[in-house]
Chain A
Amino acid sequence: MQKAFGRKKVLAMFLTPALVVYIAFVVVSVVWAAYYSFFDWSGVGEKTFIGIQNYIQLFTKDPIFWKTVLHTIIYTIICVAIQVFGGLLFAVFLTRINKGRAILQTLYYVPVVISSVAICQIFSKLFSVTPTGVVNAVLSNLSSKFAMFEWISNADVSLYLAAFVEGYKYLGLYMVIFYAALIGVPKELEEAAIVDGANVVQQYWKVKIPYIKPVIIANCVLVLNGSLRSFDISYLLTKGGPGNASELMSTYMYKQAFSSMKYGYGSAIAIAIVIICLLIGFVFRRFTERGDENE
């Protein structure tokens, strides 16, 4: 069997289908979007070739796009904080308890399997103003100002709320990955730390977390990619509003292509998203690789 897998032809036979599917659905789509980005096109009818006009408009004359870039970065930072660090924290707590661990693990994981539409419905009811939602009802006990406090339709809050909901939805997923990594840390390391006099915090901070650093980095890359391209939660919960207050690059791209019917311009935004994602991913990898080399 080992011999068979070692053969290049057999390897190619197994890898080619995935590669073909990837090229067909990802690479071709990106190339196709790049092609459309050079046209003024409403999605139907005649296309007019306009060269790089869409990109000039996007990078030099469209202030909303740059706002969406900033929003996306803020959104990503919040998601990384909740999903990676929150997930890690929850995983650490789970490794410290014996009773009811499986139940808690399942409960934390439930939002991951619930659809985004349902999650957004739940949160829009929780944060409702009229009729008063649970959050405002509870907070109004502290101060009557909270009774009519707007969350989803508040330009100062909506972006953070959408990021929180996204973070909440996927926290369980990363928690499970971290938990698996933490229980995989060799017992000898923990025992050696205890013999050296390390307390519980030090065991985690100095031994276990550094040991699972590759998993943390991998999760960071996953969250980074997911958040930079995030669409569903923001669109379903706030529709990018009020105004453009919680508009992300992906929701802006969607609106331009399908609501404004500026398909060519929407394609230019899509290409910009691909480039920005690649750039941030590349910088992050370089940064983390350099950290590894220094160690």
Chain B
Amino acid sequence: MRKKRLLAVLLTLVMTASMILTGCSGNSTGDEGGSKKGERKRISVLLRASESHPKYIMLKKLLTEFSEENGLDEPEFELVVSDADYVTKLQLYINSNSLPDIYGGANGALSKAAKDIDGIVNIGEELERVGMKDTMNEAVYDFFVDNEDGEVYLFPECLNCEFFFYRKDIFEKYNLETPTTWDEFLAVCETLKSNNEVPLIVAGQENWQLMRYLSFAPWRVTKDGFITGYMSGEETFGENESAQTGVELLNELGTKGYFQGGFLSTDYTASKDLFFGGTGAMYYSGSGQIQDASAKYDSGELGFFPVPDVDGMENMDTNVPIHGGFGTAFNKGTYDETMQSFFEYMCKNYTRVCYEDAKVFSPFNEEIPEGLDALFYDLQPLFETASDAWVSWDDKLDSATLTSIVDEQQKLAQGTVNLEDFEKTVDGFITK
């Protein structure tokens, strides 16, 4: 009996010890890859992306090629699709100072925290080191400039340019011209609506889609003047004329039924399926959807037009929002010689993988290879000379204000809050 009990106790101890050892054996993402703890075996990456995302496709290709050439193991990817989950994961890595070699990021609280732990490489300096700074599109570079110190810490995903796709057949049917001002845009919507067409498809479930309509007018008139002024308390929605235009625009589009029915429950994938599946006359999208649009564009069904001007106000020349997507950061703590040579390899080969593999525009002003979809060549003039980047409110606003505005903009688009109350509420987020 005693022997049995002893055996039971021993077994319990062995099980407990094995569980503890199993728990301890897991590597944190950065440990094995980083050079801090011995010779580098592989490069580790954390991305906010799915396996079909251009960023993953490009980095996977570049890192695999580089690893093979340099005798490294296969790169280690950790992909997180959801925004909130990604932020949580990154917070965890920053707090435990165990960031992977490469990780996705945006300007704001997270990049600041990464800077605080010396976990982010100055990309501007690195681009200069490898002689590629001048080759990068000016607007894309401008998009990633850090408000705090004017440096660039993030490498662009690609060059994204945004514009409206429209159905040429529907426009011809009602003798409509592509709008150049927002008043014309609303008139087009009204004509389409009165003819029982769905004027505009929007992914209302995505924060950024509705926010675009709120921010188009302030961007065309003030670039980042309004939003930075708003954050510092110098500008308000209640007083800034361009911001009021944005508020009126979103309200009118939502309440007059210019968006598709149930737009607030439509996510981005569903919105793409709707528009490219034949529903709706206009769709705000961008170069990321070239592959979806190419067949219809080639057959003459689809056309595109840039962001309209704000009537009665002075608009800046750039009318195509250009941005670099969700940036890529390099961990300064593990930025050894191997990582430096990978950075150089990446810059030299980025344009190739952009066009060959991911089918997106390269952030570098390099020649577009032949044999791509016609849209690539037709869209290029839109951004070739652009020097002003898109000002993403998602990056400029702090997370708390952004979350609160997102809730309010839904109410505004649905008409459950009037313009004055909306302006008063969102202005209150800053004074609070």
Whether B403 lies near A44 (C-beta < 8 A) is no
Cα(A155)–Cα(B412), bound, Å: 12
Residue of B nearest to A265 (CB): B400
User: Does any Cβ of A come within 8 Å of B104's Cβ?
Assistant: no
Cα(A105)–Cα(B334), bound, Å: 57
Cα(A155)–Cα(B399), bound, Å: 24
Cα(A244)–Cα(B404), bound, Å: 10
User: Does any Cβ of A come within 8 Å of B135's Cβ?
Assistant: no
A44-B95, A44-B109 given; A128·B265 CB < 8 A: yes
Tell me the dominant secondary structure on chain A's binding face. Answer: loop
Cα(A131)–Cα(B263), bound, Å: 11
Q: Which of A70-78, A106-114, A254-262 contacts B (4 or more CB under 8 A)?
A: A254-262
A242-B410, A243-B416 given; A153·B403 CB < 8 A: no
User: Does any Cβ of B come within 8 Å of A241's Cβ?
Assistant: yes
User: Does any Cβ of A come within 8 Å of B363's Cβ?
Assistant: no
Assign chain A's interface to a size class: 20 to 34
Q: Provide the residues of chain B in CB contact with A130, threshold 8 Å.
A: 198, 260-263, 266, 274, 279
Picked from A43, A241, A259, A261, the residue with its CB within 8 Å of the CB of B264 is: A241
Whether B414 lies near A242 (C-beta < 8 A) is yes
User: Does any Cβ of B come within 8 Å of A129's Cβ?
Assistant: yes
Nearest CB in chain A: distance from B291 CB, A: 22
Whether B408 lies near A243 (C-beta < 8 A) is yes
Picked from B109, B266, B408, B414, the residue with its CB within 8 Å of the CB of A42 is: B109
Picked from B84, B113, B266, the residue with its CB within 8 Å of the CB of A44 is: B113
Cα(A44)–Cα(B261), bound, Å: 40
Mask: chain A, 240-258; 1 = CB below 8 Å from B; 0 = not: 0111100000000011101
Cα(A44)–Cα(B115), bound, Å: 11
Nearest CB in chain A: distance from B198 CB, A: 7
User: Does any Cβ of A come within 8 Å of B116's Cβ?
Assistant: yes
A44-B109, A131-B279, A258-B87 given; A243·B262 CB < 8 A: no
Whether B414 lies near A155 (C-beta < 8 A) is yes
Cα(A260)–Cα(B260), bound, Å: 29
Nearest CB in chain A: distance from B354 CB, A: 31
User: Does any Cβ of B come within 8 Å of A208's Cβ?
Assistant: no
Q: Provide the residues of chain B in CB contact with A242, threshold 8 Å.
A: 264, 410-411, 414, 416
Nearest CB in chain A: distance from B153 CB, A: 15
Whether B262 lies near A152 (C-beta < 8 A) is yes
Nearest CB in chain A: distance from B333 CB, A: 15
Whether B403 lies near A259 (C-beta < 8 A) is yes
User: Does any Cβ of A come within 8 Å of B194's Cβ?
Assistant: no
Mask: chain B, 394-432; 1 = CB below 8 Å from A; 0 = not: 000011101110011011001011000000000000000
User: Does any Cβ of A come within 8 Å of B365's Cβ?
Assistant: no
Whether A261 lies near B109 (C-beta < 8 A) is yes
Cα(A156)–Cα(B408), bound, Å: 16
Q: Provide the residues of chain A in CB contact with B83, threshold 8 Å.
A: 259
Whether A124 lies near B91 (C-beta < 8 A) is no
User: Does any Cβ of B come within 8 Å of A239's Cβ?
Assistant: yes
User: Does any Cβ of B come within 8 Å of A69's Cβ?
Assistant: no
Cα(A13)–Cα(B33), bound, Å: 42
Whether A128 lies near B109 (C-beta < 8 A) is no
Whether A152 lies near B265 (C-beta < 8 A) is yes
The total of chain B residues at the interface (CB under 8 A) is 38
Whether B407 lies near A244 (C-beta < 8 A) is yes
Whether B265 lies near A124 (C-beta < 8 A) is yes
Whether A44 lies near B262 (C-beta < 8 A) is no
Cα(A261)–Cα(B110), bound, Å: 10
Whether B407 lies near A243 (C-beta < 8 A) is yes
Picked from A151, A155, A260, the residue with its CB within 8 Å of the CB of B403 is: A260
Q: Provide the residues of chain B in CB contact with A150, threshold 8 Å.
A: 261-262, 264-265
User: Does any Cβ of A come within 8 Å of B299's Cβ?
Assistant: no
Whether B262 lies near A153 (C-beta < 8 A) is yes
Nearest CB in chain A: distance from B124 CB, A: 23
Q: Provide the residues of chain B in CB contact with A129, threshold 8 Å.
A: 260-262, 265
User: Does any Cβ of B come within 8 Å of A45's Cβ?
Assistant: yes
Q: Provide the residues of chain B in CB contact with A153, threshold 8 Å.
A: 204, 262-265, 414
User: Does any Cβ of B come within 8 Å of A148's Cβ?
Assistant: yes
User: Does any Cβ of A come within 8 Å of B212's Cβ?
Assistant: no
Q: Which of B174-215 contact A (CB under 8 A)?
A: 198, 204-205
User: Does any Cβ of A come within 8 Å of B332's Cβ?
Assistant: no
User: Does any Cβ of A come within 8 Å of B94's Cβ?
Assistant: yes
Cα(A176)–Cα(B373), bound, Å: 58
User: Does any Cβ of A come within 8 Å of B52's Cβ?
Assistant: no
Cα(A201)–Cα(B64), bound, Å: 71
Mask: chain B, 253-280; 1 = CB below 8 Å from A; 0 = not: 0000000111111100000001000010
Residue of A nearest to B260 (CB): A130
Residue of B nearest to A148 (CB): B261
Q: Provide the residues of chain A in CB contact with B116, threshold 8 Å.
A: 45
Q: Which of B357-411 contact A (CB under 8 A)?
A: 398-400, 402-404, 407-408, 410-411
Mask: chain B, 95-125; 1 = CB below 8 Å from A; 0 = not: 1000000000000011011001000000000
Q: Provide the residues of chain B in CB contact with A124, threshold 8 Å.
A: 265
Picked from A131, A148, A239, A261, the residue with its CB within 8 Å of the CB of B399 is: A261
Whether B407 lies near A241 (C-beta < 8 A) is yes
Q: Provide the residues of chain B in CB contact with A255, threshold 8 Å.
A: 403
Q: Provide the residues of chain B in CB contact with A45, threshold 8 Å.
A: 94, 109, 112-113, 116
Mask: chain B, 57-75; 1 = CB below 8 Å from A; 0 = not: 0000000000000000000
Q: Provide the residues of chain B in CB contact with A13, threshold 8 Å.
A: 12
Q: Provide the residues of chain B in CB contact with A258, threshold 8 Å.
A: 84, 87-88
Nearest CB in chain A: distance from B96 CB, A: 11
Mask: chain A, 127-161; 1 = CB below 8 Å from B; 0 = not: 01111000000000000000010111101000000
Nearest CB in chain A: distance from B193 CB, A: 13
Can you list 26 A-B pairs, Cβ within 8 angstroms, ordered by A?
A42-B113, A44-B91, A44-B95, A44-B109, A45-B112, A45-B113, A128-B265, A130-B263, A130-B279, A150-B262, A153-B262, A153-B263, A153-B264, A153-B265, A155-B411, A238-B265, A239-B205, A241-B264, A242-B264, A242-B414, A243-B416, A259-B83, A259-B84, A260-B399, A260-B403, A261-B109
New A-B pairs, 18, CB < 8 Å, besides A129-B260, A150-B262, A261-B398: A42-B113, A43-B87, A44-B95, A45-B109, A124-B265, A130-B198, A150-B265, A153-B264, A241-B410, A243-B410, A256-B400, A258-B87, A259-B83, A259-B402, A260-B402, A261-B87, A261-B109, A262-B399
Closest 5 interchain pairs by CB? A129-B262, A153-B264, A44-B113, A129-B261, A260-B400
